[in-house]
Amino acid sequence: MSDTKIVSESQSAASAASDSDTSATRESAVDAPTTGPSSTTAVATSRTRRARSGSPLRSAKFITGVVLVTGIALFAILVPLFAQDPYFTGNDALQPPSADHLLGTTKLGNDMFSQLATGARGSLLVGVTAGGIAILLSLFFGVLAGYLGGWREDTLALVTNVMIVIPGLPLIMVIASFVSNRSWQLVAVILGITSWAGAAYVLRLQARSLRSRDYVYAAKVAGERSWRTILVELMPNLLPLLTAQFLFAIIFAILNEAGLSYLGLGPNSSITWGTILNDAQSGQALSRGAWWWFIPPGVLIATLGAGLALINFAIDEVINPKLRNAPQAARSVRKAAAKSAAAKAAAKMGASA
């Protein structure tokens, strides 16, 4: 009997221990999920906030560039609607800025403020038109060559390489010198067909890299046509690069048009910032002290170029994440260097003590 009691007592003790272990396990199992998902949610939320706050399209560079470009575009669109006729010559010649003429007058009595606004419209039209022509040609010779491959890529790449080798500005000057009556449309076409080769080379390399991706192979196996594969599969991945190349083409066209017009090879039937600088140079504005004739168009050219360049830099950070993460990496390196320097200084003080 005593042995039986001992065995029963040991069995009851073991069952009680197992019940306590089971209840503890249940309590830990109940407590565990309350901490896991909350911490995971917090980490995911913090990462999402960091990604949103660090978006390149919300950076100071992008916002500043958009403000500058939008301001100049509104100036070019709205001011000519209520300003004086830019071709009117009834004003006094070479008048300094005043209440009647905010930016003075030219040698012929033209109002500089209205000429500057009309010139902004002309320069923007030349830049956008030439940029559109250049990006269309670069799409044809770049993306098409990179996607097709084979002898078709070699043929299109040969044309691109020839256009890269030919110097652009002398070619533009030769073409413009043979045409006596040059409109802004003709100048934009000349600038567009001579400035597409660099963008085509970059796009060809990127398209060649994308054509070996799995989703492109899947589209080919599914029987999709080449033009649809390019539009649906390749173009969305090339959109940031295309935008950057388009902005660069606009900057290139506006600067080249200003240079051509300053040399007397720009549009002679319309007003642009370049033609204003040419008139100021021929009218000896610098020797006469008429600073209001040549400084405002130069400042606007530089401001527009800076705004487009800032937007381009922000888009480059979208294309290349290394540029986006470079400031954070530099800060972490500086912090690590500061910590190591502080540790070395503390070690030296401890050794001297």
DSSP secondary structure letters along 177-229 = HT-SS--HHHHHHHHHHTS-HHHHHHHHHHHHHHTTSHHHHHHHHTT--HHHH
Closest to 303 measured CA to CA, from 60, 122, 70: 70
When pLDDT is averaged across residues 32-58 and rounded to a whole number, the result is 47
With a threshold of 0.75, does the pTM exceed it?
no
Query: What is the reported pLDDT for 141?
Result: 92
pLDDT in tens, 156-207: 989 998 888 887 778 778 877 787 788 888 889 989 988 899 899 989 988 8
* 26 contacts: CB under 8 Å, gap ≥ 6: none
Question: What is the pLDDT confidence band of residue 134, given thresholds at 50, 70 and 90?
Answer: very high
Closest to 257 measured CA to CA, from 184, 174, 164: 184
Distance CA 219, CA 202 (A): 24
Q: What is the dihedral of CA 62, 66, 68, 73, to 10 degrees?
A: 160
Q: First vs last Cα of the chain: how many Å apart?
A: 78
Three-point CA angle 260, 263, 265, nearest 5°: 55
In the block, tokens 């299109």 appear at 156
Distance CA 174, CA 232 (A): 40
Query: What is the reported pLDDT for 24?
Result: 44
In the block, tokens 């009595």 appear at 109
Let me know: does 269 contact 327? Beta carbons within 8 Å. no
Question: What is the pLDDT confidence band of residue 332, given thresholds at 50, 70 and 90?
Answer: low
Question: What is the pLDDT confidence band of residue 44, given thresholds at 50, 70 and 90?
Answer: very low
Query: What is the reported pLDDT for 351?
Result: 67
Distance CA 210, CA 237 (A): 8
Between 121 and 50, the more confident residue is 121
